[in-house]
Structure 1
Amino acid sequence: MRWKRSGSDVLATTRRLAAATLVAGGFLACAALSASPAAAQDTDWVEPPASVPKAPRGDPTRNLDMLFGALKAAPDDTTAKAVEDRIWAVWLASGSDTVNLLMARTKAAIDKDDRVLAIRLLDAIVEIRPQYVEGWNRRATVFFLQKDYASALADLRQVLRREPRHFGALVGLGTIMQEIGDETNALAAYRRALEVNPRLKGMADKVRTLADKVDGRPI
């Protein structure tokens, strides 16, 4: 059951979830979150590629460990993008025909801007396959598009508990931190995303710009 809450209650809940999500991601830049929301910042959200290679066989955890090692060592953007696509392939592999069908229907619903249906489908996915990180990540994206930041953060927390290196979720977390006016923790999330994916498109520039604002502030 959903009920209406005041704007201050929603913001307070969002801040609490943001703190919990930062902890789930393995870091927390500061104990207290910003006291007031800021105007909307850039809302870049890392999406999986339109097509991905076939997921490699074998243990997904071992495959991801190897791929993330290769991602850090990538000598150029082209190589990094190829490795990144293979990481997405592992994350997107649900191991369930039912989940695959529901994900396809979710994409169709999102393409038609039917977010209510998309969330219903994603609700079913996370219930069927709670360990499937892309179910949570995709639902977080839809909640973000609806500006339901508390729900988006709750889902990002689930993603990062299962896969702390999920650079898409880390960028999403940073984006929401900026939206609610917490640039310090936004920077922490972006830096973590850049740490696991050093060639993440546009992220180095974003970190530099935000660091100038955050690190340059007087104490």
Structure 2
Amino acid sequence: MSDDSIRFPLIVDLYEQYLVDQDSPAFVRKVAQHYTIGTLERLAEWGERMARRGSALALGMLGDYTSNPVLGRALLDGDRGVRTLAETGIRKLWYRIGDERTRRSLDNLHRLNESKQFQECIEKATILVQDSPWLAEAWNQRGIAHFYREEYEQSIRDCHQTLEINPYHFAAAAGMGKSYMRLGNRVAALESYRRALRLNPGMDDVRAQVIHLQRTLQEEED
């Protein structure tokens, strides 16, 4: 791959073509021919608006967990399109860490939660975090499973550990808020939701919860 100059962002042409034909394989192939991940990361942060959008999309398709901080910062971009692409992309990057076996294990945890096999998810995630405690998404998936088993304190601990490893994990922060709400701790829930919004201001449902909790707590003080 050649490292294209940031002054001539071919990524804009490739992104605009993608918007027309929605041909993901072609977009990935052409981007990979012309750009390194490092150049895409720089464009995602310092390029003009369309270059940032195209680079955020490309990183979500081509990048791995090492690009997590770049897309994490892109969640705060001034352009809504960049923010939306960054959120979609970063969720994918959280599973792209370690070797192929590790990645398959993380994908399996997600599938177990999606199919409501929460106990099996907890068991497999526990083995995974014991072997590889640096896998933030393994902690997060176990936290999700605990939440749906109404084991809220365990879920909070796992979400907290997720954020210790991956400070851009807005979903874990929001998950903590949900668990605190179920435990009746609205102050802690509000702080968790605020943390999620600081990481990802585009979470409209979380913003609504913050507004509701702020109003409720203020009325109680009055």
Task: Spell out the pairing of 1:11-160 with structure 2 (5 A cutoff).
Answer: 53-56=60-63, 60=66, 63-76=67-80, 78-160=81-163
Q: Unaligned stretches of 5+ in structure 1?
A: 1-51
Counterpart of 2:174, as a letter, is V
Mapped contact 1:67–1:86 kept (Cα < 8 A): yes
- Give TM-score scaled by structure 2 length: 0.66
Task: Spell out the pairing of 1:201-212 with structure 2 (5 A cutoff).
Answer: 201-212=204-215
2-structure distance, mates of 1:110, 1:199: 24
Residue matched to 1:215 = 218
Distance 1:87-1:113 versus aligned 2 partners, 3 A rule: closer
Distance 1:111-1:87 versus aligned 2 partners, 3 A rule: closer
Mapped contact 1:55–1:89 kept (Cα < 8 A): no
The percent of aligned pairs where both chains have the same amino acid is 23
Q: Offset of 1:196 from its aligned partner? A: 1.3
Mapped contact 1:55–1:86 kept (Cα < 8 A): no
Distance 1:105-1:162 versus aligned 2 partners, 3 A rule: closer
Larger radius of gyration: 2
1-structure distance, mates of 2:62, 2:147: 28
Higher relative contact order (CA 8 A, sep 6+): 1
- Give TM-score scaled by structure 1 length: 0.67
Q: Secondary structure of the equivalent of 1:130?
A: coil
Structure having the larger proportion of residues in helix? 2
Give the superposed CA RMSD. 2.2
1-structure distance, mates of 2:132, 2:99: 8
Q: Offset of 1:68 from its aligned partner? A: 2.6
